[in-house]
């Protein structure tokens, strides 16, 4: 079942990428008491994710923060080392990278996709979420192959 606006995020463990390496964080703790712009990508270093999705959130950091966003986070079904390398390669210091290595969070929110025909296996769908104190306030899920409603620009326009 797919998560909906008004739902509380499910409890899951993600790996937060830090300068000292991976640090496991619970979604309950990470999203508690603040407003987070969360976006999900099918994979780090993939074409649309690298050329459009991540750069949009890097570029719109100040505008999102001005609208009350406490943190911008990106989640992907990749390991923490890949997410860390992707952040470094894109100078994404203002985006918290969250690794969902086994896809448990993607499954828990009901937003998986099968990327097997691309050699990627089960991944996360592309989406953006506005999360306030662990509750989904906005959810923008892309149609397969699209990049429109999950962009930083779209999220800003909805705030």
User: CA of 67: how far to CAs of 2, 41, 60, 93, in Å?
Assistant: 27, 23, 11, 19
pLDDT digits (tens, 9 = 90+) for 25-66: 999 999 999 999 999 998 777 766 666 778 889 999 999 999
CA distance 90 to 48: 13
CA distance 29 to 57: 23
* Catalytic position from the list 14, 49, 58, 149: 49
pLDDT digits (tens, 9 = 90+) for 113-144: 666 677 665 768 789 999 999 999 999 998 88
User: CA of 136: how far to CAs of 18, 42, 109, in Å?
Assistant: 25, 20, 11
Q: What is the pLDDT of residue 49?
A: 61
CA distance 16 to 74: 10
Q: What is the pLDDT of residue 51?
A: 63
pLDDT digits (tens, 9 = 90+) for 69-119: 999 999 999 889 999 988 898 888 899 999 998 989 999 999 886 666 776
Residue 148: pLDDT band with limits 50, 70, 90: confident
Edge-to-edge, what's the strand order for the sheet holding 127-132? 21-26, 13-18, 96-99, 71-76, 35-41, 127-132, 135-141
Domains and their CATH numbers in the chain: 13-158 (3.40.30.10)
**74 in catalytic set:** no
H or E, element range at 17: strand 13-18
Token code pair at residue 88: 């470094």
Q: Output the DSSP codes for 33-63.
A: TSEEEEEEES-TT-HHIIIIIHHHHHHTHHH
């Amino acid at each position: 079942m797919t998560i909906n606006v008004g739902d509380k995020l499910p409890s899951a463990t993600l790996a937060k990428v830090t300068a000292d390496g991976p640090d496991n964080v619970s979604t309950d703790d990470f999203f508690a008491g603040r407003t987070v712009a969360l976006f999900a990508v099918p994979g780090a270093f993939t074409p649309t994710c690298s050329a459009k999705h991540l750069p949009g959130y890097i570029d719109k950091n100040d505008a999102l923060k001005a609208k009350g966003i406490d943190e911008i986070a990106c989640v992907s079904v990749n390991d923490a080392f890949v997410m860390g390398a992707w952040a470094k390669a894109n100078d994404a210091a203002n985006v918290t990278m969250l690794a969902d290595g086994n896809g448990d969070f993607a499954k828990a929110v009901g937003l998986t996709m099968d990327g097997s025909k691309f050699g990627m296996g089960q991944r996360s769908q592309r989406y953006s979420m506005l999360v306030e104190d662990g509750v989904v306030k906005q959810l923008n899920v892309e149609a397969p192959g699209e990049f429109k409603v999950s962009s930083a620009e779209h999220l800003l326009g909805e705030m």
